[in-house]
Structures are given as C-alpha cells and as structure tokens.
Amino acid sequence: MASNRWMNLFVDVARAVLSSTPRSASGAATDERRRTPSSRRPARRAPGPAASPRPAPPRERPGVTASSSAVGTYPGDYTGVVDAVYSPHLDGEPDPGEVVWTWVPYEDDHTQGKDRPVLLVGRDGPWLLGLQLTSKDHDRDAAQEARHGRLWMDVGSGPWDSRGRPSEVRVNRVIRVAPDAVRREGAVLDRATFDQVVAAVARARR
C-alpha cells in the first residue's frame, strides 16, 4: 500500500511538471513579444514643408483694353495751340519727331482705347502731344470723314508699320500721351514731312 501511495504521488508530480512547462514557454514567448518592438512597423516620417501653390503665368495685355496707365488720369485731348518741337533721339525715351507705339483712348470714351502708332509733335507739361496714325486709306472717304470731324494727311510709309504700308495722320485731334505709357519707339519722321504735318494741324485749328 505504501508503495502505491508513493507511486501515485510521483505520477501527480510528473503530471504537474509536464502540464506547467508549455504554459511557461508560451508566457515567456508572449512576454518576449511584448518587450520586443515589431520590426515590420514602418518608421514614421517627419512632416515636410507644405507645397506652395504654383504662381499663375502673367496675363498678356490685350490690344483693346479698359486699363492703362493713362486711364483715370487722362485729362482729355489737347485743344490749345501746339508749340511743335522737332527733337528726335532714339535713346529709349520718347521725343517729338518720333513715331511711337502707345495706348490711344477712343475719342468718345476715354476709359477705353487701343495701342496705335502716334507721331509726337510737342509737349504739354508732363505730357507728350501726339497725332494718331493709321494704315487705312481715307482718301476714298475723305468727305465722309470730314463730315464726322476727322481730317487726315498722307505721310507715306515708314518702319513704324511692319508691312510697309502707307500711313495717314489725323491732324485735327491732338492726344496727350504719358511718357511711361509709350510701348516702344518706332522710327523718326523726316523733318520736311514733320513740318508739313505741323502746318496742317495749325490750319485745322483755325
């Protein structure tokens, strides 16, 4: 009987040891996983600077526009006596005697206009005085133009027209031109033609 009791006790101890060993290994493995960070988790990146929006390309100025350096400050067409001066200098600055490209306000609405070639004939304080040029032939409708108060004179062709077309200048409307509104110098009108234009302007103002 005593031997059976010792045998049963030995069996119970062996069972207890065998049953506790897997749980200890599993618990150790679980603890190891808890202590060791996973190598599969990607590292967090530091936030970079926010991307700035790409600036929009500048818009080109159309030929006909309601905005110009002269708009809002344009005092109106010049109606006094033109003290003509012939002093062309192709130095980048607009001078009387030169044909330049600039913004010309419409006669009936000074808030709108168009880039046109202009013959500079004099000055009025900070303003340049100019006469509008056109490549349109008004000889065919001279009477009609005169009835509408527009008088034109032929000045021939020049480098101000890229196609070499003959031009006419309006002699009974003198516009004021802001020097900083001049787009570019076109050419120099010869002195003889300039004097003829000035004489025609004087006759138109009598």
Residue 185: CATH number of its domain: 3.10.129.130
Is 134 among the domain residues?
Answer: yes
Q: Closest Cα to residue 70, out of 38, 139, 116?
A: 116
Distance CA 112, CA 68 (A): 9
Is 54 among the domain residues?
Answer: no
Is 17 among the domain residues?
Answer: no
Q: Provide the domain limits for residue 105.
A: 98-205
What is the distance between the terminal CA atoms of the chain, rounded to a whole angstrom?
A: 155
Is 170 among the domain residues?
Answer: yes
Residues in the chain where the model's pLDDT stays below 50 = 22-30, 32, 36-39, 42, 46, 48-71
Distance CA 79, CA 124 (A): 11
pLDDT digits (tens, 9 = 90+) for 168-198: 999 999 999 999 999 888 799 999 999 999 9
pTM: 0.65
Is 21 among the domain residues?
Answer: no
Counting the structural domains of the chain, the total is 1
Is 158 among the domain residues?
Answer: yes
DSSP string of 169-196? EESS-BEEE-GGGEEEEEEE--HHHHHH
